[in-house]
Amino acid sequence: MSDFSFKIIKKSKKSWARAGILETPHGIIHTPAFISVATQASVKSLSPEDLENLGAEVILSNTYHLYLRPGAEIVKKAGGLHKFMNWKGPMVTDSGGFQVFSLGWGRVHKIGKIGWFPGSEEFQEARLPEEARLQRPKFVKITEDGVEFTSHLDGSKHFFTPEKSIKIQEDLGADIIFAFDECTSPLAGYDYTKRSIKRTHDWAVRCLKAKKRKDQALFGIVQGGEYKDLRAESLKFITSLPFDGIGIGGSLGKTRKDMFKILKRMHSFLPEEKPRHLLGIGRSEDLENCVKLGMDLFDCVWPTRLARRGSLIVKSGRINIKNAKYIKDFQPIEKGCPCYACKNFTRAYISHLFRAKELLAYRLATIHNLYFTLKLMENIRNAI
């Protein structure tokens, strides 16, 4: 790709970490990078100007959500997603493959990608309620040809194929797009996962064939769940194809330990020269370890979602700003933090805004949590 290049500028001597520069038609991304999530063409509560002020270089939007609302043809008519939402920097769209999981087994089993239950702060072994084992996904039907989704907005049916996912992503016009895949659940068994990667691999080939635009980079996605041989098989297959980068998707086991083990095993199969995107991962406690395991790109709703609940990331961990003790705390969220929220407001005021359900609360909290995450990433990058 003429407008797209990836250069590794530094490699750690102590780990597999590498620092690089990813060039896209809308500017460069310094890797390793945290990608802020703009699910519905907006990083929740922030303006593009806020993101620029935070030093965010790149955002990720969701193909499935934008396909349903406002619709890809409207975004195309607007001149693409960059113009539609007035974001001038690099942009990524996912393929809809994650929704195969999140609206499918994820929803039935109330489970996340690494096996933790949403709402639980701690990782835990995924325990599947008996009644859920008997259920099958209601909103997703998977065939060899593609996936039928039932819209969470109005119950209408939509059939996604690899070709359709690429077409939508070409209409949206992000700099980096992804192959359509089946993201498997941490609860998927070996046999299911084996059949599933076959599908994902077929779809990968179809995506490469369907792609028409020359100004977008297409990343393939490795699946294979927690199974050593299936991950290896998927890695070998996906990296043999002419993708511009490698996404690591799907279940990464049932605990954080599992995730690190799986990434470790994968490393020797990863081609050096291609950027690696660890899909959907980006808690502050995971970033450094995953960078050391050779990852370049991360996206995650975690810091922004936490923020809207009043959970603010600080060096010592997290504070819940709605807690009574902060009502009279006239310090900033984190002393010395130069973000707009910390420079201008106290915990007492932000606590008040949350209690009063004032909209400014969500924006200030999001600014702080994203600043923390982006700064952490910058520090990790500089330490390589």
Q: Which residues bind its own copies (CB under 8 A)?
A: 40-42, 44-49, 69-70, 74, 77-78, 84-86, 327-328, 330, 340, 344-346, 348-349, 351-353, 355-356, 358-360, 362-364
Instruction: Please identify, using beta-carbon distances, which residue of 318 and 355 lies nearer to its own copies.
Output: 355
Strand bridging mode 217-222 / 245-248: parallel
Give the separation between CA 145 and CA 327, rounded to whole angstroms.
Answer: 56
Q: Which of 171, 175, 286, 299 is catalytic?
A: 299
Closest separation in Å from C-beta 344 to its own copies? 5
Q: Among 147, 168, 163, which residue's Cα sits nearest to residue 101?
A: 147
Show the beta-strand stretches assigned E in the chain: 5-11, 18-24, 27-31, 33-37, 59-61, 91-93, 140-142, 147-150, 157-160, 176-178, 217-222, 245-248, 276-278, 297-299, 311-314, 317-320
Token pair in block for residue 174: 């992000």
User: Residue 77 or 157: which CB sits closer to its own copies?
Assistant: 77
Those residues whose C-beta lies under 8 Å from the C-beta of residue 119, and which sit 6 or more positions away, are none
Q: What letter does residue 327 receive in the DSSP assignment?
A: G
Nearer to its own copies, 139 or 349 (CB): 349
Task: Give the residue from 137, 97, 111, 106 showing the smallest Cα distance to 222.
Answer: 97
Query: Which candidate in 94, 244, 286, 296 is catalytic?
Result: 94
Residue 175 annotated as catalytic: no
Q: In this complex, which beta carbon is closest to its own copies, that of residue 27 or of residue 163?
A: 27
Least separation in angstroms between CB 160 and its own copies: 20
Q: In this structure, is the dihedral angle defined by the CA atoms of residues 336, 340, 346 and 348, taken in order, positive or negative?
A: negative
Q: Name the residue with tokens 């960078």.
A: 291
For 125, half-sphere exposure in the C-beta direction (CA atoms, 13 angstrom radius) is 1
In 10 A of CB 336, how many CB atoms?
Answer: 7
Please count the other Cβ atoms lying within 10 Å of the Cβ belonging to residue 330. Answer: 9
Taking the least distance from each CB to its own copies, the nearer of 284 and 304 is 304
CB contact at 8 A, 169 and 67? no
Residue 274 or 355: which CB sits closer to its own copies? 355
Least distance from its own copies to the Cβ atom of residue 159, Å: 23
Beta strand 297-299 pairing with 317-320: unpaired
In angstroms, give the least distance from the CB of 48 to its own copies: 7
299 is catalytic: yes
For its own copies, the closer of residues 265 and 305 by Cβ is 305
Residue 60 Cβ vs its own copies, minimum distance, rounded to whole Å: 16
Cβ 287 vs Cβ 376: under 8 Å = yes
CB-based contacts of 332-336 (< 8 A; 24+ apart in sequence)? 333/368, 334/368, 334/372
Minimum CB distance to its own copies smaller for 117 or for 345: 345
Q: How far is the CB of 294 from its own copies (least distance, A)?
A: 35
> Closest distance between its own copies and the C-beta of residue 98, in Å?
18
- We find the least distance from the C-beta atom of residue 92 to its own copies, in angstroms, to be 19
Residue 183 CB contacts under 8 Å (≥ 6 apart), including other chains: 97, 98, 100, 101, 102, 113, 223, 249, 250, 251, 279
Query: Is omega for the bond preceding 70 within 30 degrees of 0, making it cis?
Result: yes
- Nearest by Cα to 43 from 369, 318, 377: 369
**Catalytic amino acids?**
94, 299
